[in-house]
Structure 1
């Protein structure tokens, strides 16, 4: 799966939206229910590195895989950065994105219930 295919996949989720942030952050963020579920870095030297949220258990396992590292500033929330999306098997990458999307939707549902 290449960068374009991942972008397309992230936009297909029900209620998903994206927003491009310019300098200084330079990221393309995907949201579900107002909660972030994935993002791409859009500037060099880390252009097109892709980040998603994982479970604490997956976080530990994934950060031992070459080409996957803790996400800068977001690692404490169990986010990982995939250096090259093309190097990760498509099914596995889709599973990671699916889980991150589901977690974002669940978090947004809890937040909306608190405000009722």
Structure 2
């Protein structure tokens, strides 16, 4: 997937929005400021990508070539990928969807309901 395809996919997820933060980082979030993905992460427009993963899968991901703990966010179980991404398009879409779900699941129920994001 290209960075523009990733951005388009992230924006299709329920309640997602995009902001520019910290210079050129494209941040995808829900509920105003709850990040689930960062594009151009720490690499000034070259397409680096970071997102949240399940805590029990974190170590398995960072053992893979081309995937590392995301600086500043690893303690929250975020991983970082550089281009070319070491995941196929289908796996990357599934991982971004899961990242979105992990963030939504931590929102208060009133926000999940207000954004039509209640997974139940």
Q: Tell me the residue number matched to 1:32.
A: 30
Counting only pairs closer than 5 Å after superposition, residues 51-62 of structure 1 correspond to structure 2 as 51-62=50-61
In structure 1, stretches of 5+ residues that fail to align are: none
Residue pair 2:18, 2:29 contacting (<8 A) in 1 also: yes
Cα shift readout 1:35-85 (whole Å, capped 9, x = no counterpart)? 100001366467311001001221100101111000000000000001125
Q: Tell me the residue number matched to 1:68.
A: 67
TM-score normalized with structure 2 length = 0.81
Q: Tell me the residue number matched to 2:115.
A: none
- Displaced runs of 4 or more, over 6 A: none
Q: Secondary structure at the match of 1:88?
A: coil
Residue pair 1:56, 1:78 contacting (<8 A) in 2 also: yes
Residue pair 2:31, 2:111 contacting (<8 A) in 1 also: no
TM-score normalized with structure 1 length = 0.83
Please provide the CA RMSD for this pair. 2.2
**Structure richer in helix, relative to its length:** 1
In structure 2, stretches of 5+ residues that fail to align are: 113-120
Residue pair 2:46, 2:83 contacting (<8 A) in 1 also: no
Q: How far 1:108 sits from its partner (Å)? A: 2.0
Aligned positions, number: 111
